[in-house]
């Protein structure tokens, strides 16, 4: 007996052929959905295993109370993100005869009666019955969610009156319930935004936020806050992906990386991951592209990670002297090569180290020459790119050429393995990249712009010690990208995230995702 795949469709009647093709398409779609759910289940199983390792691992007793709190915080955030992704996939494949809506997960927290309450009464669009009679209010449904105005908790009570007709008995109308980012849970989108800003901008781990809330009479466990953060990270991910797409579409970018210690629960200590930053900042020469930064977490610092992050980018990449960038710039890429512009400030700092330690006259002379370049750059701040290029050709190029002559003479006098020889070697090894700024007014003399975007991450690392898990570090990178980009565009991160989460809760369409990017946010109308 032949299988359905062996049937000659052309020999069948049209209606039978269409039925078979429809069933094949439906089967292929179901197989794809099963595969997707399988991947979600595998990820959840992996996270549960990591959670058990953190809790019951042989060396978990070596973790301090704070370290355990951070481990659980990021694992629970990762679980919430994975579960939300699975629920989103489940919602597209409801079982036959079952309600397509995901089960409501209610928070069992208590909303104190003494908190102020603001009622939002949602009336139906019309108070008239289709039969022509006047509708009468017969009851209402009331839901309460916990909201926050910075430094003040309050309860938003949503009242939806029900109306029935006095003439006939069949019509009852009520305004539809408003959409929430986390259905059935306590927080408003404003409260979720507040938690995100406190964690990723103000560097307050969730367990410390829980302690602060408890002092105001609000008992919110760290795991509850982690659940909110994880769900928010899932919903914000498309906005961050779009931000990264815009960054890589630029003609010039800054790139840098910093360590991100990540807890390894089974070993009772941290291992080193990295947060990479791709930044754009054309404000010094009045460029039209808005400033922004996207952070990407990777478990290592190798060129393979930078290669994946820069996929699709061509243009000028401003970096420090890390060799991975040079390796990557020399490789053949499908999208074409990019040009490296190296950082004069990086070399200047190395010379300053030698001068402050040894009082080297050679280092002092190098610093004096570089200072002349920086005096010119200070005068060119705010000029157009063409004005900067022209001025650099006339004023800066002779200084750079004289520096190269001086550099070659000094390197011939000292051992390349000496301290000063190693520092001078930076300039010689990256000379082509150090000269790029002379011929392009859009290029900065250094990569300080991206280093400024790295500092908030370093502060967060100092306060939180480390990320509790790789997934937590990825959430950190995503949410910090939106917060720091908002700050670069002179926005209040809380107002931006609140408005963005509210838009996502209302089902903002994916094809208009650009409207949710920080530089598109109108703070005056929020």
The Cα–Cα gap between 447 and 7 comes to 64
187 sits in the region (left: phi over 0; alpha: psi -120 to 50; else beta) called beta
> Which 3 state secondary structure label does DSSP give 256?
strand
State pLDDT tens for residues 144-166: 999 988 778 889 999 999 999 88
pLDDT bin (cut points 50, 70, 90) of residue 9 is: low
The Cα–Cα gap between 71 and 265 comes to 8
Which residues fall within 8 angstroms of residue 394, CB to CB, at 6 or more apart?
Answer: none
Which residues fall within 8 angstroms of residue 84, CB to CB, at 6 or more apart?
Answer: 230, 231, 234, 235
446 sits in the region (left: phi over 0; alpha: psi -120 to 50; else beta) called beta
Q: Which of 520, 521, 493 is CA-nearest to residue 150?
A: 493
Specify the pLDDT at position 476.
85
Max CA pair span of the chain: 104
Other CB atoms within a 10 A radius of the CB of residue 396 amount to 21
Residue 58 has pLDDT above 60, yes or no: no
State pLDDT tens for residues 294-319: 999 888 888 888 899 999 999 999 99
State pLDDT tens for residues 230-273: 999 999 999 999 999 999 999 999 999 888 777 665 555 667 88
The Cα–Cα gap between 237 and 234 comes to 5
CA distances from 447 to 234, 267, 326 (A): 32, 37, 15
**pTM of the full predicted structure?**
0.77
- The percentage of the chain sitting over the pLDDT mark of 70, rounded to a whole number, equals 85
pLDDT bin (cut points 50, 70, 90) of residue 358 is: confident
Residue 15 has pLDDT above 80, yes or no: no
Q: Is the dihedral of CA 128, 131, 135, 139 positive or negative?
A: negative
What tokens appear for 441 in the block? Answer: 């007014």
Are residues 499 and 511 in contact, defined by beta-carbon separation less than 8 angstroms?
A: no
Other CB atoms within a 10 A radius of the CB of residue 443 amount to 20
Q: Is the dihedral of CA 405, 410, 413, 415 positive or negative?
A: negative
Q: Quote the DSSP letter at residue 441.
A: T
Chain centroid offset of residue 480 CA: 5
Mean pLDDT computed over every residue of the chain: 85
Q: Which of 85, 199, 206 is CA-nearest to residue 476?
A: 199
Residue 92 has pLDDT above 70, yes or no: no
Q: Which of 456, 449, 512 is CA-nearest to residue 481?
A: 456
């Amino acid at each position: 007996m032949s299988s359905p795949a062996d049937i000659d469709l052309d020999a069948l009647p049209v209606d039978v052929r269409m039925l078979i093709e429809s069933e094949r398409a439906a089967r292929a779609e179901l197989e794809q959905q099963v595969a997707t759910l399988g991947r979600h289940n595998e990820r959840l199983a992996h996270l549960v295993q990591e959670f058990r390792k953190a809790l019951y691992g042989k060396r978990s007793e070596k973790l301090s109370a704070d370290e355990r709190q951070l481990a659980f915080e990021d694992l629970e955030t990762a679980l919430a993100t994975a579960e939300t992704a699975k629920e989103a996939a489940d919602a597209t494949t409801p079982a036959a005869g079952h309600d397509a809506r995901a089960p409501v997960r209610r928070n069992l927290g208590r909303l104190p009666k003494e908190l102020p309450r603001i009622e939002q009464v949602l009336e139906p669009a019309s108070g008239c019955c289709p039969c022509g009679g006047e509708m009468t209010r017969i009851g209402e449904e009331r839901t309460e969610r916990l909201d926050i105005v910075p430094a003040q908790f309050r309860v938003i009570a949503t009242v939806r009156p029900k109306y029935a007709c006095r003439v006939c008995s069949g019509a009852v109308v009520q305004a539809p319930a408003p959409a929430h980012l986390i259905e059935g849970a306590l927080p408003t989108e404003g409260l979720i935004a507040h938690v995100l800003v406190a964690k990723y901008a103000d560097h307050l781990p969730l367990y410390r936020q829980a302690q602060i809330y408890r002092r105001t009479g609000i008992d919110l466990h760290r795991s509850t806050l982690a659940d909110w953060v994880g769900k928010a990270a899932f919903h914000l991910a498309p906005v961050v992906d779009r931000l990264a797409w815009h960054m890589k579409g630029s003609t010039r970018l800054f790139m840098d990386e910093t360590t991100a210690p990540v807890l390894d629960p089974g070993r009772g200590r941290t291992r080193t991951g990295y947060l990479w930053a791709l930044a754009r900042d054309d404000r010094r020469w009045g460029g039209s592209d808005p400033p922004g930064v996207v952070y990407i977490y990777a478990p290592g610092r190798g060129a393979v990670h930078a290669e994946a992050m820069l996929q699709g980018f061509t243009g000028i990449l401003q970096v420090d002297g890390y060799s991975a960038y040079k390796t990557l710039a020399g490789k053949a890429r499908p999208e074409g090569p990019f040009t490296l512009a190296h950082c004069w400030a990086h070399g200047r700092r190395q010379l300053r180290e030698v001068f402050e330690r040894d009082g080297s006259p050679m280092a002092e002379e190098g610093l004096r020459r570089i200072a002349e370049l920086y005096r010119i750059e200070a005068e060119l701040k705010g000029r157009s790119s063409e004005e900067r290029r022209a001025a650099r050709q006339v004023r800066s190029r002779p200084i750079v050429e004289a520096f190269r002559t001086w550099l070659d003479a000094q390197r011939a006098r000292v051992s390349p393995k000496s301290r000063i020889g190693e520092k001078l070697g930076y300039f010689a090894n990256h000379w082509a990249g150090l000269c790029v700024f002379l011929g392009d007014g859009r290029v900065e003399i250094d990569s300080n712009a991206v280093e400024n975007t790295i500092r908030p991450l370093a502060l967060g690392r100092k306060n939180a010690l480390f990320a509790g898990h790789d997934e937590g570090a990825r959430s950190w990178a995503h949410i910090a990208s939106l917060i720091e980009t908002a700050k670069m565009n002179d926005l209040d991160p809380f107002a931006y995230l609140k408005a963005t989460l509210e838009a996502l809760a209302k089902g903002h369409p994916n094809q208009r995702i650009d409207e949710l990017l920080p530089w598109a946010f109108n703070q005056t109308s929020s």
